Amino acid sequence: MGYLHEGHLSLVKKSKEKTDITVVSIFVNPAQFAPNEDLLKYPRDIKRDKQLLKSAGADYVFIPSVGEIYPEGFQTFVEVNKITRQLEGEFRPVHFRGVTTIVNILFNIVNPDFAFFGQKDAQQAAVIKRMVKDLKLGINIIVCPIIREQDGLAKSSRNIYLSPQERKDALVLSSSLKAAYLMIKAGKRNSGKIINKMKEIISGVVSSGIDYIKIVDEEKFEEAAKLTAGKKYYILIACRIGKTRLIDNILVNV
């Protein structure tokens, strides 16, 4: 959706490594924002984005208008059901319908062989993988690692909303994920106890307000009460720091 940072540019780099032609779309998608969300406030700087993409070696930049994507009379949406009802879907009910619709439209326009998404939006990537599989679109979905600041904060276009103190407070997200990782590597398998420790860390700053902390199976995105050796799990957080809603996660191989 633009206002690019190193996380976005890492997707371009991965595409350049793997493909012949790299197309980047920039579109702040109104269909994935509820009326009370930050569509109008969402940061935009197309001139800067173009310069960054040129430097990164992108071959084409596709920046459609809202009218091009959703012309008058538009009434068709793409929905993935089960996986979108939890986590982000619980707190943002219209979000994933907007995501799957716009991604499907962009896929139809560009007709790619590969599409690159960031792990920071792990549930989104899982939803898109399911859509591609179910609709037999024949596109390889590549999920690329989270890019972080030196102190551990996940790169996000929304980080600019944080005040200096909130920027410090936001480090509790990555700190809690690190604590969870260390607990699992030490042999802890009870999700409830791991999540309680994470809540304790995050609640240590007064600006925080947790939407959810969940541990889910990597493939099905189903909650896991107990972790099983040999399986992979996402540990996912959505948390408000002040008025800014941030998400973060890690993928753990138990």
Query: Residue 41, SS3?
Result: coil
Q: Determine the Cα–Cα distance for residues 143 and 129; give it in Å rounded to an integer.
A: 10
Res 194: pLDDT: 98
> Strands, DSSP E only, in 29-139?
60-62, 114-118
Single-letter amino acid code for the residue at 15: S
| pTM: predicted TM-score of the whole model, two decimal places | 0.92
Q: Determine the Cα–Cα distance for residues 12 and 34; give it in Å rounded to an integer.
A: 29
Residues of the chain with pLDDT > 70, as a percent, come to 100
Q: For residue 87, give the nearest of 77, 98, 100, 96 by alpha carbon.
A: 96
Q: Which residues are catalytic?
A: 8
Strands of the 208-217 sheet, one edge to the other: 208-217, 232-241, 244-253
Residue with token string 């699992």: 184
Res 109: pLDDT: 97
Task: Indicate the pLDDT class of residue 219, thresholds 50, 70 and 90.
Answer: confident
Query: Over the range 71-88, which residues count as b (16 or more CB within 10 Å of their CB) and which as e?
Result: eeeeeeebebeebbebbb
Q: Taking a C-beta distance cutoff of 8 angstroms, is the pair 31, 69 a contact? A: no
Task: Indicate the pLDDT class of residue 36, thresholds 50, 70 and 90.
Answer: confident
Average pLDDT over residues 217-243: 95
Residue with token string 């206002």: 3
Q: Taking a C-beta distance cutoff of 8 angstroms, is the pair 173, 237 a contact? A: yes
Residue 40 has pLDDT above 90, yes or no: no
Task: Indicate the pLDDT class of residue 38, thresholds 50, 70 and 90.
Answer: confident
Q: For residue 236, give the nearest of 99, 89, 88 by alpha carbon.
A: 88
Longest dimension (CA), the chain: 57
Give the list of residues 6+ apart from residue 150 with CB closer than 8 angstroms, or none. none
**6-144 belongs to which CATH class?**
alpha beta
Q: Taking a C-beta distance cutoff of 8 angstroms, is the pair 233, 254 a contact? A: yes
pLDDT tens digits, residue range 196-212?
999 999 999 999 999 99
Q: What is the sign of the dihedral through the CA atoms of 88, 89, 92 and 95?
A: positive
Radius of gyration over every alpha carbon of the chain, rounded to an integer in angstroms? 18
Q: Determine the Cα–Cα distance for residues 14 and 143; give it in Å rounded to an integer.
A: 10
Say if domain 157-253 classifies as CATH 3.10.28.10: no
What are the extents of the domains in the chain? 6-144, 157-253
Point out which residues pair with 238 in neighbouring strands: 212, 247
